[in-house]
Structure formats: structure tokens, C-alpha cells
A and B are shown apart, each in its own frame.
Chain A
Amino acid sequence: GEDVEQSLFLSVREGDSSVINCTYTDSSSTYLYWYKQEPGAGLQLLTYIFSNMDMKQDQRLTVLLNKKDKHLSLRIADTQTGDSAIYFCAESLRSSASKIIFGSGTRLSIRP
């Protein structure tokens, strides 16, 4: 089946690293995505990884993909108050490249 799961909340101290985790069930995914949504706003595509990659780094963001365990993570280094948002993990499937399956989102809050 198609399912993407992630924890609902994460709280980190400003300056620390944030790690948001996600698991998915469909092994035929093509791309795996991380989107950021700030209150009242749309979704910003943060980064994505092709399913044949293990890792992708882009400035403060590091994405790790473990295909065997169907586990995806997003690490945000030196977390800032502007990183407060909901982060959605998502996948697109080889069988239906048209639609993206989203998780319910992880709300990241930053403590001073």
C-alpha cells in the first residue's frame, strides 16, 4: 500500500541540529521529497532525492535515504528560529508518477 509516516512534533534548541524522520511503505518510489510549510503559506520544495541515491547535501540540509528500511531523514544543521514550520515527507511512485503521497507533517518548534 501507499503510506508515508512521520512523527507529529519535534522541539529543538536554537543552534542545535534537527533530525526529522520518515518511513514509507512503497518500495517503488522514484523521488522522495521534503517540503516546508509555514503558517498560512504554501509548500516550499526544500530538497528531494532520487531513489537510487543514499545521501544528498545542500547547505544546512542533509537527506539520508535507507532503502532497505524504507527510511528517509532530513537533518537541518544549526537550526534557526526561521526554520519553525511543518515539514512534509513525500514520495512519488514509479507506478503513478503523477501523484505525490504525503505524510501528515512534523511540526518543528525552536526553543531559545
Chain B
Amino acid sequence: NAGVMQNPRHLVRRRGQEARLRCSPMKGHSHVYWYRQLPEEGLKFMVYLQKENIIDESGMPKERFSAEFPKEGPSILRIQQVVRGDSAAYFCASSPDSDQPQHFGDGTRLSIL
């Protein structure tokens, strides 16, 4: 039973480019969460999605960031016009239901040149 799969593991972008991060939840999990980890810090919640719906985006920056979880395919976290401050590790987690423990992927480490 594969765990949460994230790709790419590492992503390098220049300032102003777009970054797309992908997350495939564990089999049977329809709830997906995105977190951001800045260097030497804990994880901060960004957004919670359930198939085709954004349930809670209270941790998402208002501009440049968006997330989706289509009916078919992985969840995507999209960052437009990236800036240096977007450099971080982005983790995806999934759960079978909102009140069940979340299982995390290995993360995507985004570096902005």
C-alpha cells in the first residue's frame, strides 16, 4: 500500500516563474492537506481539500497561491510568480476522513533562485 506520493522531490525555479507541486494521496484517502515548512521551523497548515472542493484555506496566502484536488488525478499546489520567500519544503498529507490521523508524504523542496 503506497504512501502519500509527492513529486517532484526537489524543484528549482527562478523568481517570477510558476511552481506546480503534485500530491497523490494514499489509496482510499479522499482528504488532502498541504503544509509549508520554512527552514528550522515546524509545519504550518495551508489548505485542506476534499475531492473537487476546498474546505479550509485559512493558511493559504491570499495572492499567488492556489490549490486544487480534481475528481481524477493528484492534488496540485500552484504558486505563481514565485519569490525568494517561497523557498521552503511543502508537505502534503492525506486521511480517509477529517477526524482521522493524517499521513504525510516526503515533501517537495522548492528553491527559488
User: Which of A's residues lie within 8 Å of B, judged by CB?
Assistant: 4, 30-31, 33, 35, 40-45, 48, 88, 90, 96-105
Q: Is the CB of B42 within 8 A of A102?
A: yes
Task: Bin chain B's interface residue count.
Answer: 20 to 34
Write out the residue numbers on chain A whose beta carbons fall within 8 Å of the beta carbon of B98.
97-98
Interface centre among A4, A40, A41 (most CB of B within 10 A): A40
Q: Is the CB of B107 within 8 A of A101?
A: no
Distance (Å) between the CB of A86 and the closest chain B CB?
A: 9
Q: Is the CB of A103 within 8 A of B101?
A: no
Write out the residue numbers on chain B whose beta carbons fall within 8 Å of the beta carbon of A44.
104
Distance (Å) between the CB of A56 and the closest chain B CB?
A: 13
CA distance A105 to B55 in the complex (A): 27
Whose C-beta in chain A lies nearest to the C-beta of B59? A99
Candidates A4, A43, A99, A101; contact of B104 at CB < 8 Å: A43
